[in-house]
Structures are given as C-alpha cells and as structure tokens.
Amino acid sequence: MEQIKYDWTFFKRRIYVNNSSRKELFRMWATPKGITEWFIEIADYVNQDGKKRKSEEVVSTKDKYTWTFHKGSKIEGEVLEVDEDSLFKFTFGKKDIDSEEDVIVTVTFYEEVDRVWFDVLQANMSDSKFGRVNYHISCNMGWVFHINNLKSIIENGHDLRVKGVNRMHVDAPSAYPLENYEWTRFRQKEYIKAPISEVFIKWVTPGGIIEWFLKKALYESENGGIRSPKETIKTGDNYTWEFYSGLIMKGKILDVQENYSFKFTFGKKEPDSDEDVIVNVTFKEKVGLRVIELEQNNIADNEYGKVTYNLSCMVGWSYYLTNLRSIFESGYDFREKDQKLAKETTAYSLDN
C-alpha cells in the first residue's frame, strides 16, 4: 500500500452563507462586536497608541487583541493584515511548546452574483503531536463549529453556542490532555434537548438519519428485505449510505438496543484490510438533556488512519452532531446539498 502523505502544517475551511454580503461577513470578523456575535465571548482590541477599539470599529493592522472564550480561557495575539471587505489576518497562538513562532489564520472573503463565502486558512502549525492535536484537529473542529454557527445566526437567527456550562461547544474529551490522546480511537459527546426516543429514531430509521446526516440511506435485512423509511433497523442489516458530497459508504449494523445504543461498521481499517473501523453510539439521560456519546475505534495507528479516520471523521462527526442539535433546537439544517459545495465545505483541507 502506498503510504499516504498529508501536510499537517496547514488546513483550510470554506463556508457559503446565504442572505448576506461580503461586507457583512467581513465586519463579523473584523469588529469587536461582530466577532462576539458568533465566536468569542469578549473581544478587546488595542491600537498602537494603547487606545481601545470601539465596539463597531473595524480593527487595524498591528492591533493587539485579547479574546475571552465562554469557558473563561483567553488568547492574546496581533492583527497582521486588514483589507476592507476582503481579508482579515491574525496570529492564533504559538506554533509549538516553547516556540516563538506564531500560528497564522487568514480569512479571505468572496462574493459573486448569487452567493458569498469565505475561506479560513490556518497555517504555520508544527508537525509534532502538539501541533497535530492542539491545532490541526482541535482548531479544525472549532472552526467547523463556529463558522457554521455564523451561518446559522445569519440564515436562521439561532446561536448554537453553549453558554453557562463548563464544557466546549464541541465535546471531544479524548483530545485532552495531550499525553492521553489516542490515534486509534476517539470519543465525542453532544447534548440534545429532546426525549431519548426521539433522538434514537433520528439514528436508527432510514427516514430519520437522512434528516441530519445523509442524502440517502438504504438498509437491507438479512433475508434481503428493504427497510421502509420509518422502520427501525436491526442487528445484521447491511447499509448503503450516500452523502450530499457524492461519497457512498457500505457497511453492517452490528447491534441495536432500543433507546440505548447503535453500533455499526464504518469503513475498512486500511484499504487492503479485512478489519472494520467501528462506531458505537450510546444515548444517556442527563438532567434536562440527552447525551449522545460516540466512540470510533479500531483505527490504524499510521498516517492513513490518522488522516482518513481520526482527523477526517472527528471533524465530520463534529459537523453532523452539531447539525443534529441544530435541527432539534431550531429546525435548521445547515448542510450544503449542492454536491460541489458539499465537497468544498466538508473537506478537511481544500488543497490536499
């Protein structure tokens, strides 16, 4: 098997936004007020003269910033370049432990006759475990959540951020602390304000799973019958899943326990392997919320497994689990359903 080569020093995300303009998107990044509407809890900018920027003032090159997140953590950095309605560039933490070099984020804004969009390019990351986990995976997940939150706010008026609780918007506890990070598996959680029976149905019926995850879902029972849209799938069923990006996956349902768990294969461990990657989803009660816990395991501990399953799937599940919560909270489905746009917005790197 040819060894996969992947550049861990950068990634790029793209998001298309309806009912907006390049100017509006730019100001939601480049003003203190704008960036707090979808990303940061508190954003303070100070110019070269030590004067604090006003809430709706566009920041400038060489401004120093302090961003406070909802959990109270802070990051300090510098604005590197601002081009009105076109570009916003800033530092975003140090490249590696004990490094003086900065990670750089460049946001570029575009507008055509019928659409607007922006790209987020995060670069100059270390190809160490620190860089891969803390920046490439963690920030990738974070940007996926936050830029789709920006899209949700503009298109639907709904803020998906989790406030008033001591957890991340995208909860992936396997990523922290760094020394405990495992490449052969990962875990994620999502919290849904709905009865467990309703959440469970969204996973285990052909009609339910296409509402938030897939374009098409076909399940064939062990005796060759095809499951109807509202029929609960069973252990031993074979599935064919089609995504809006055009990707088609086939696999097997390994276990279904009503209102408790759903287990299935999710691709081969390696291209020439007979072993399957396994996903196990469990549903639990918590005061006022239902908790979805997803674990993906049996991932190869090599570059193929790290890129194809650990990175790509962790980012992907973050995207889709947030979309599931969005649908329950407001009825808003933020998936791109045009195949070309879906490929661009779900790719973990547009250039790799």
Mean pLDDT of 195-208: 97
Report the pLDDT value the prediction gives residue 341, as an integer from 0 to 100: 87
Instruction: Work out the pLDDT band at 352, boundaries 50, 70, 90.
Output: very low
pLDDT at 174 over 90: no
Domains of the chain, earliest start first: 11-150 (3.30.530.20), 173-346 (3.30.530.20)
Indicate if the pLDDT at residue 4 is higher than 80. no
Per-residue pLDDT, averaged over 95-99, amounts to 93
Q: How confident is the model at residue 286 (pLDDT cuts 50, 70, 90)?
A: confident
The DSSP call for residue 306 is I
Q: Is the dihedral of CA 193, 197, 199, 202 positive or negative?
A: negative
Over 80: is that where the pLDDT of 228 sits? yes
Query: Of the candidates 308, 352, 9, which has an alpha carbon nearest to the alpha carbon of residue 186?
Result: 308
The single-letter DSSP state of residue 310 is: I
Q: If pLDDT is split at 50, 70 and 90, which confidence band does 232 have? A: very high
Contacts of 278 (CB under 8 A, 6+ apart): 254, 263, 264, 265, 266, 296, 297, 298
225 forms bridges with which residues in the sheet?
none
pLDDT at position 170: 66
Give me the count of residues in the chain: 352
| 229 upstream amide cis, omega within 30 of 0 | no
Per-residue pLDDT, averaged over 191-209, amounts to 96
Query: Quick one: pLDDT at residue 301?
Result: 94
Tokens of 185: 């598996």
Most confident of 169-178, 180-189, 199-208: 199-208
DSSP structure string for 244-294: TTS-EEEEEEEEEETTTEEEEEEEESSTT-SPEEEEEEEEEEETTEEEEEE
List the structure tokens of 301: 């501990």
The pair of structure tokens assigned to 10 is: 């950068």
Q: Choose the weakest-confidence range: 8-17, 120-129, 135-144, 264-273.
A: 135-144
Lowest-confidence pick of 37-51, 166-180, 221-235, 306-320: 166-180
Nearest alpha carbon to residue 87 among 77, 99, 79: 79
70-88 per-position pLDDT tens digit: 877 899 999 999 999 999 9
What is the reported pLDDT for 350? 41
With pLDDT > 90 as the criterion, what percentage of the chain qualifies?
82
> pLDDT tens digits for 314-346?
999 999 999 999 999 999 999 999 998 888 876
**3-state secondary structure labels for all residues of 190-242:** EEECCCHHHHHHHHHCHHHHCCCCCCEEEEECCCCCECCCCCCCCCCCEEEEE
The whole-chain average pLDDT of the chain stands at 92
pLDDT tens per residue across span 293-311: 999 999 999 999 999 999 9
Instruction: Tell whether the model's pLDDT for residue 221 goes beyond 50.
Output: yes
Residue 1 has pLDDT above 60, yes or no: no
pLDDT at 166: 63
Q: Which of 120, 18, 28 is nearest to 336 (CA)?
A: 18
Token pair of 316 as six digits: 């992907």
Side-chain-side CA neighbours of 84 within 13 Å: the count stands at 2
pLDDT score of 344: 81
**Confidence class for position 180, pLDDT limits 50, 70, 90:** confident
What's the predicted TM-score (pTM) here? 0.93
Q: Identify the pLDDT of residue 69.
A: 87
Map tokens 């918590």 to a residue. 286
| 351 confidence band (pLDDT: 50, 70, 90) | very low
pLDDT of 53 reads 98
